[in-house]
């Protein structure tokens, strides 16, 4: 066995994330590690290479105990991690990224020609900055940089994350070709369908624990794996709850899919603010006569308050306000003015 992990426990601060995980990877295998987001897959990879210190358990690479060793020692153990999110040097060219990947390799120039032969698209962009590459090209650059150190064990963390479906096929095709180079791959992925198509064996991790183990073919036909990760074929598929039967004349229930009851007093052809028949005003002789009587009472009240007919207060509101060319003026009421008692003038009187 090239890699053995025994009862590994690790976490962050006082929070335990991986609870006694155990797995093994034989030389020349592609082993998948499936699980949902937050299951502890990335933390397990970090503990294997030394980026996260294990609380307990053991990690053996090539039969040697490597638990607790610093991360830079993993290169000497021929183990390379391709982290989640590519993590390339965006401000450096493609050529500089590859040279950094082969820093410990004395034959890095020769190794670069071999790697570029597997990734011809990168050869066309050697002088291009890494940050200007597309998402698929950046993932290929991350894989090529890892191959520059000639590893025996390659740990891949979510290589398909954020890629288009066509680019995912290209990346997984390159991972499958790595098996022909004699590499051993531990592939951490949420894309269970693509992983089980290229893997020899696989593990399923849930909430920090390894819950299932088997060949890729067996896990692909496992009902629990189908239901949780492949989206079909669970033992107890979810079904919508049955709706209660509807009966004729029962206005509180509506058949055919559980629609909400129709509101009473509203025509569906009318608008949202349409009024019901009960709330609409109806024209009748009694209504018209009552309205005329109300108008007569209001007019009599207005005349009594305006002094019409010698009753009321003896002034009108319009007497106070007069409009002229100079604006608004306030005048005294007509009853307060001094009026001389003159006889009515005759139309036949001659002018003075």
- Does residue 309 form part of some domain? no
Provide the whole-model pTM. 0.64
Output the six-digit token pair for 24.
């093994």
**Integer Cα distance of 200 and 28 in angstroms:** 10
Instruction: Decide if 298 is inside a domain.
Output: no
Residue 140 belongs to domain with CATH number: 3.40.50.300
Note the pLDDT tens digit of each residue in 304-335: 554 544 444 454 555 444 444 444 455 555 55
Within-domain flag for 108: yes
pLDDT for position 294: 62
Report, as an integer, the average pLDDT of 272-296: 54
What average pLDDT score do residues 100-109 get?
Answer: 84
Is residue 155 pLDDT above 80, yes or no? yes
Domain that holds residue 115: 80-149+162-179
pLDDT of residue 187: 94
pLDDT given at position 274 = 47
Q: SS3 for 78-113, per residue?
A: CEEEECCCCCCCCCCEHHHHHHHHCCCCCCHHHHHH
The residue with greater pLDDT, 109 or 293, is 109
The answer to whether position 301 is within a domain reads no
Of residues 43, 42, 78, the one with CA closest to residue 63: 78
Q: What is the mean pLDDT of residues 145-158?
A: 91
Paired strand residues for 12: 15
Mean pLDDT of the chain: 76
| pLDDT value of position 136 | 86
Q: Number of structural domains, the chain?
A: 1
Say which residue, 206 or 264, is predicted with more confidence.
206
- Between 306 and 58, the more confident residue is 58
Determine the average pLDDT of the residues in 156-182.
Answer: 87
Burial tier of 334 (Cβ tally within 10 Å: 0-12, 13-18, 19+)? middle
Does residue 91 form part of some domain? yes
The answer to the question of residue 98 being in a domain is yes
Whether 264 is covered by a domain: the verdict is: no
- Domain assignment of residue 170, yes or no: yes
């Amino acid at each position: 066995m090239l890699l053995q992990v025994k009862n590994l426990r690790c976490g962050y601060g006082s929070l335990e994330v991986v609870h006694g995980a155990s797995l093994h990877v034989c030389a020349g295998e592609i082993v998948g590690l499936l699980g949902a987001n937050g299951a502890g897959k990335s933390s397990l990879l970090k503990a294997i290479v030394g980026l996260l210190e294990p609380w307990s358990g053991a990690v053996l690479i090539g039969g040697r105990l490597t638990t607790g060793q610093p991360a830079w020692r993993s290169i000497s153990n021929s183990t390379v991690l391709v982290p989640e999110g590519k993590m390339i040097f965006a401000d450096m060219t493609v050529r500089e990224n590859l040279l950094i990947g082969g820093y410990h390799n004395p034959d890095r120039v020769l190794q670069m020609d071999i790697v570029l032969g597997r990734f011809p698209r990168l050869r066309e962009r050697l002088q291009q900055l890494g940050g200007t590459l597309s998402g698929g090209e950046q993932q290929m650059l991350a894989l090529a940089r890892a191959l520059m150190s000639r590893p025996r064990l390659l740990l891949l963390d979510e290589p398909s994350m954020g890629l288009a479906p066509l680019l995912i096929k290209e990346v997984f095709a390159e991972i499958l070709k790595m098996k022909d180079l004699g590499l051993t791959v531990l592939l951490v992925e949420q894309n269970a369908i693509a992983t089980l198509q290229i893997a020899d064996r696989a593990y399923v991790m849930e909430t920090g624990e390894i819950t299932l183990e088997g060949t890729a073919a067996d896990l692909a036909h496992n009902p629990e794996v189908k239901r949780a990760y492949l989206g079909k074929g669970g033992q107890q598929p979810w079904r919508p709850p049955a709706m209660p039967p509807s009966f004729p004349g029962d206005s509180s229930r509506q058949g055919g899919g559980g629609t909400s009851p129709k509101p009473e007093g509203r025509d569906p052809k009318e608008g949202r603010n349409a009024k019901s028949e009960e709330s609409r005003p109806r024209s009748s002789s009694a209504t018209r006569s009552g309205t005329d009587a109300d108008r007569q009472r209001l007019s009599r009240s207005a005349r009594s308050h305006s002094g019409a007919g010698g009753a009321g207060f003896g002034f009108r509101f319009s007497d106070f306000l007069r409009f002229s060319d100079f604006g608004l003026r306030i005048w005294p009421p007509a009853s307060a003015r001094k009026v001389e008692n003159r006889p009515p003038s005759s139309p036949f009187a001659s002018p003075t």
